[in-house]
Chains A and B, each alone.
Chain A
């Protein structure tokens, strides 16, 4: 938006209420910065994320989608994130087949890991930005 020479990627994230969304809140209260184009949708558990959401987001214009939950073993719903892991691994494999690997990411970010949250999403954003602008130049 602000930089006219560069196309900024749109990133949508799904964050579980108990860990990653808490981490994002903490990142906010610590005034850490991350790209404005990264926006987070809160879900009760990462296992609520239907891969269809990810597909919808990608085909409605998101350049990247991340799903983030509690570390394996830490799920508030005991095992929810293990299911997320299976589903997202499969979805990533599917995107890989379409040569779109890198558009979907799975993170484990605990409530205390505000820094990890920032690092992960900023790196993701930067990767997407490079890709998006490299594509434009060619």
Chain B
């Protein structure tokens, strides 16, 4: 080892409470250290020149820079090493500013601490191996699961960007639930029309293969190279894709789960979705009295559905408007807990319906009693504190969203997790709402939680973009700090595989050892800490580095 140690004064910032001169002298005596220099500003241009010259003249193969915290200056020093002709991963940065000179007052103790920190950095660096930023090939093709508005948007985007797309849909027809909507709020355009536009556009492109009436039967591989087997109407097909967008949508809540709603038992009790087919078939009187019941299958802990379905308040409003339009003399009353008209324009819509005479009554309905003549609704108005009993000709249930019926099975196949409600779990609820723990698999639309049309389109396209970014070049850069298996040491116990969050570890049945799928590895190091013999280890954070780092901190040097 020919190590160079560069200790930065950072002006007064380090020098003030750390005896840098003593340190540079001290490290000159450590075996393996060829250069030990303290300098006013190592990051300045003359400072960088000193490092560069030292590397070139002294043939340094390890560079320890003791200065500010590693996150400052980004890649500056790593690039410097590269420019000087050394592997950039021979660099060790030791923070003696944020973690030493700034946090202690005692010069003697600080100097001692800095000495230990640099020493442990040096020990760690002595074990360093050269790393490289590798590239792996990825397949420029994508699988989009689900042909609803979200999936269609994703597929269309990917196809437009030149990615080969396999779009599969479990139903016989594309379009998902939007296809069933008479009017899509807020544009009030016909759902079928919106879907038609998307499909027309997709069909115009020659790089999309559409499979309806299709399910996935097998799914293997890793980011960049997933092997998919589908069953298309009885026929098996196989293809390879680089990544996946899951947009399996939702299943509308079935109110017959709650017998007290009398759904399907009484024709006069319908859901908002039923009404999308039109009102005419209901044969209502000229001045119908209509009740709209919010939160059916949502915010209801008695059936284990505590979540809000996000779309049903607007759906209720839309229904009310439609009834009012068709029957101007109708009486429409909406029974609600909170009117969640949060989308853009929603509040104004809510107000306009109030103006049109739709009555909004706060309070859940306690009882629905169908009689021959009409349907009696009993409940308590929580605003007025009065118990009411009202008669209606029609009761509309504003139903929420349930998870897609096949989520669990698909999740198991794709190795992606579900949340407590059975929707797909995102990597981070705020900032990574489309990512899953598995690299190259994205979730979009209502399969990760209830969303309206606009949000589903957003999701579909945004997750498609993310996938496109990963597939675009046909290859992907692999992080240098990923796990690596020494096959000679691996016992094949598969503990790492079981624990791996990114599911980036694969077992080789023949050799009986595990293998890291480099493109999929996130670089957390959990596998390394799980393997009892450290046969799998995280590059940049090998056991030997950290073990010696510990020694450096504790040895009486």
Contacts and interface: CB of A to CB of B under 8 A. Distances in A.
Nearest to A39: B553
A2 B107 CA distance: 10
A47 B547 CA distance: 16
B427 interface: yes
A10 B437 contact: no
Residue picked from B99, B437, B501, B529, most chain A C-beta under 10 Å = B529
Interface in B542-556: 543, 546-547, 549-551, 553-555
Contacts of B551: 60
Contact of A44 (B69, B105, B113, B523): B523
B97 interface: yes
A96 interface: no
A112 interface: no
Interface string B506-539: 0000000000000000111110111000100010
A33 B105 contact: yes
B109 A1 contact: yes
Nearest to B525: A48
Contacts of B99: 24-25, 28, 39-40
Interface in A8-25: 10, 12, 22, 24-25
B547 A80 contact: no
B92 to A, nearest CB: 11
A87 interface: yes
A76 B526 CA distance: 13
A48 B529 contact: yes
A interface residue count range (under 10 / 10 to 19 / 20 to 34 / 35 or more)? 35 or more
A91 B401 CA distance: 44
Contact of B529 (A24, A34, A40, A49): A49
B98 A12 contact: no
Contact of B69 (A28, A56, A62): A28
Nearest to B538: A48
B349 interface: no
B529 A77 contact: no
B541 A56 contact: no
Nearest to A74: B428
B98 A28 contact: yes
Contact of B554 (A34, A57, A77): A57
Contact of A39 (B71, B117, B501, B522): B117
Interface string B493-509: 00000010110000000
B549 A50 contact: no
Contacts of A10: 553-554
B104 interface: yes
B474 interface: no
A50 B529 contact: yes
Interface in A28-42: 28-29, 31-37, 39-42
B98 A24 contact: yes
A83 B499 contact: yes
Contacts of A44: 481, 523-525, 538, 540-541
A53 B481 contact: no
B461 interface: no
Residue picked from B102, B540, B555, most chain A C-beta under 10 Å = B102
A45 interface: yes
B113 A39 contact: yes
Contact of A34 (B103, B117, B502, B524): B103
A97 interface: no
Contact of B98 (A29, A35, A47, A76): A29
Nearest to B116: A39
B380 interface: no
Interface in A86-136: 87
Nearest to B427: A78
B554 A12 contact: yes
B538 A31 contact: no
B141 interface: no
A43 B108 contact: no
Interface in B62-84: 69-71
Interface string B94-138: 010111101111101110110011001000000000000000000
Contacts of B95: 25, 28
Contacts of A80: 501, 524, 526
Contact of A28 (B103, B112, B541, B543): B103
Contact of B103 (A32, A47, A60, A76): A32
B550 A45 contact: no
A85 B15 CA distance: 39
A51 B531 CA distance: 11
A33 B106 CA distance: 11
B97 A48 contact: no
Nearest to B550: A57
A30 B120 CA distance: 25
A113 to B, nearest CB: 15
B547 A79 contact: no
A45 B525 contact: yes
B526 A36 contact: no
Nearest to B97: A28
Contacts of A57: 550, 553-554
A42 B499 CA distance: 22
Contacts of A60: 550-551, 554-555
B541 to A, nearest CB: 6
Contact of B106 (A2, A40, A87): A2
Given A12-B550, A39-B117, A41-B553, 19 more contacts: A25-B99, A31-B103, A33-B104, A36-B106, A39-B99, A40-B99, A43-B525, A44-B524, A45-B526, A47-B524, A47-B526, A60-B550, A61-B554, A62-B554, A77-B522, A78-B427, A78-B428, A80-B501, A83-B499
18 contacts: A1-B112, A28-B97, A29-B102, A32-B103, A33-B105, A36-B109, A41-B546, A44-B481, A44-B524, A47-B524, A48-B525, A48-B528, A48-B541, A53-B546, A62-B553, A78-B437, A78-B501, A83-B530
Interface of A: 1-2, 10, 12, 22, 24-25, 27-29, 31-37, 39-45, 47-53, 56-57, 60-62, 76-80, 83, 87
